[in-house]
Amino acid sequence: MKAIVLAGGHATRLWPITKNRAKPLLPLGERPIIDYIIDDMDDVDDIIISTNEKFAGDFEDYIDNYDRDNVRVVVEEQDSEEEKPGTIGAIIKLLDKEGIEDDLVVIGGDNYYSFDIADFIDFAQEKESPANVVYDVEDKDMATSFGIVDTEGDEITGFEEKPDVPPSTLASTACYFFPEDEVSLFHEYEDYFKQTDVPAEQYLDEPGRLIEWAHEQTPMYAFSFTGDWFDIGTPEGYISAMDELMDTDIVNGKTEDSRIGKNVFIMEGAEIENSTVKNSIIFPEAEIKDSEIRSSIIDCDTDIRDTELNDAIIGKHTSL
């Protein structure tokens, strides 16, 4: 069995902290986000991190630092978001390059899930069909922000991207399984859309379209789980994931005469003096003095003095 971990995005919604840092390598607690995913795939023989050339070296360092012997990096042939081949396009290129004809797990490297991937694989193998992990957001208004699947029992019968009137509250997540005899669906999907008027940037960069098309070609099933699922593509998602994952606030940096509120992660090397910090993530070597920091992310080597920040993302080497 093989797995493709998708890690080729440029995470522009989290810029500037992800402008020169791969989002899956952002710390979540004491480990990078991607490590929770890799750690949960003991049954997978070959794990491929699909990324761009810009971040390939960082992922190679991650593999070395965390001693992941069954993990390797494959580089997408692009170096900017504008040139990105699209999520599905990158998978198709990788399938061609690697000649993959095994059972295949495809998973986004920048989300935090609390389900056991082994349980999902068991579910899909028992069905002998493609499967998608779904999460019940339990609210019709919230469901309008996601790709939503409709089901009969646990078989997928429909898919709509951000529907105005959701048929269900089951949100499709970036985690899929394809048995070896169904991996060809990717190429069949591409061949089909090449004959339509749909722009390539849509059908090659919108994973939901694959579900929308594939469930009508072959039985496809939904694996629903309870627990946590966080999209770490936004500051709010990142901070919320940190809050949910950690049993307590982590203050590894130096604090002096400061008020440290709830949901605060201050990394080693940061220095906080005569300041208030709440619901925020502070990276190493940040210096904050005489300031109020709320619901913000402060990157490395920043110098913040006499400043009030709320819902802010402050990049490296910034002085305020």
Residues 206 and 256 in one domain: no
The three-state (H, E, C) secondary structure of the chain, written as one string: CEEEEECCCCCHHHCCCCCCCCHHHCEECCEEHHHHHHHCCCCCCEEEEEEEHHHHHHHHHHHHHCCCCCEEEEEECCCCHHHCCCHHHHHHHHHHHHCCCCCEEEEECCEEECCCHHHHHHHHHHHCCCEEEEEECCCHHHHCCCEEEEEECCEEEEEEECCCCCCCCEEEEEEEEECHHHCCHHHHHHHHHHCCCCCHHHHCCCHHHHHHHHCCCCCCEEEEECCCEEECCCHHHHHHHHHHHCCCCEECCEEECCEECCCEEECCCCEEECCEEECEEECCCCEEECCEEECCEECCCCEEECCEEECCEECCCCEC
Q: How many domains does the chain have?
A: 2
Q: Residue 187 — pLDDT band, cuts 50, 70, 90? A: very high
Residue with tokens 């090449």: 194
Distance, in Å, from the CA atom of 239 to the CA atom of 297, rounded to the nearest integer, reads 8
Q: Are residues 35 and 93 in the same domain?
A: yes
Backbone φ, ψ for residue 283 (5° rounding): -80, 170
Based on the domain organization, do 201 and 291 belong to the same domain?
A: no
Return the biggest CA–CA distance within the chain.
Answer: 66
On whether both 200 and 300 belong to a single domain, the answer is no
Instruction: Assess if residue 309 is contained within a domain.
Output: yes
Residues 38 and 161 in one domain: yes
Domain membership of residue 319 (yes or no) is no
Q: Give the pLDDT score at 13.
A: 80
Between the alpha carbon of residue 16 and those of residues 34, 61, 121, 297, the distances in Å are: 20, 22, 36, 10
Residue 241 domain flag = no
pLDDT, one tens digit per residue, over 256-269 is 999 998 888 899 99
Determine how β-strand 104-108 pairs with β-strand 170-178: antiparallel
Structure token digits, residue 208? 């939901």
- Give yes or no for residue 80 having a pLDDT over 60: no
Q: Tell me the C-alpha distance between 120 and 43, whole Å.
A: 12
Give the pLDDT band of residue 201 (cuts 50, 70, 90).
confident
* Residue 12 confidence (pLDDT) above 90: no
Domain boundary among 236, 262, 277: 236
For residues 54 and 193, membership in a common domain is answered with yes
pLDDT of residue 144: 92
| Domain presence at residue 33 | yes
When comparing pLDDT for 243 and 215, which is higher? Answer: 215
Q: Residue 119's domain is classified under what CATH number?
A: 3.90.550.10
Residue 130 lies in a domain: yes
The answer to whether residues 104 and 183 belong to one domain is yes
The predicted model gives 21-38 an average pLDDT of: 89
Q: Residues 117-137: what's their mean pLDDT?
A: 93
Count the Cβ atoms, other than its own, within 10 Å of residue 288. 30
For residue 218, the enclosing domain spans 2-236
- Does residue 71 register a pLDDT over 50? yes
User: Residues 219, 297: one domain?
Assistant: no
* CB 245 within 8 Å of CB 28: yes
Q: Are residues 189 and 266 in the same domain?
A: no
CB 183 within 8 Å of CB 124? no
Q: Are residues 69 and 31 in the same domain?
A: yes
191, 301: one domain? no
Average pLDDT, the chain: 88
What percentage of the chain has pLDDT greater than the value 70?
A: 96
Same domain (yes/no): 280, 226: no
* Residue 134 binned pLDDT confidence (cut-offs 50, 70, 90): very high
Please say which residue of 236, 268, 302 terminates a domain. Answer: 236
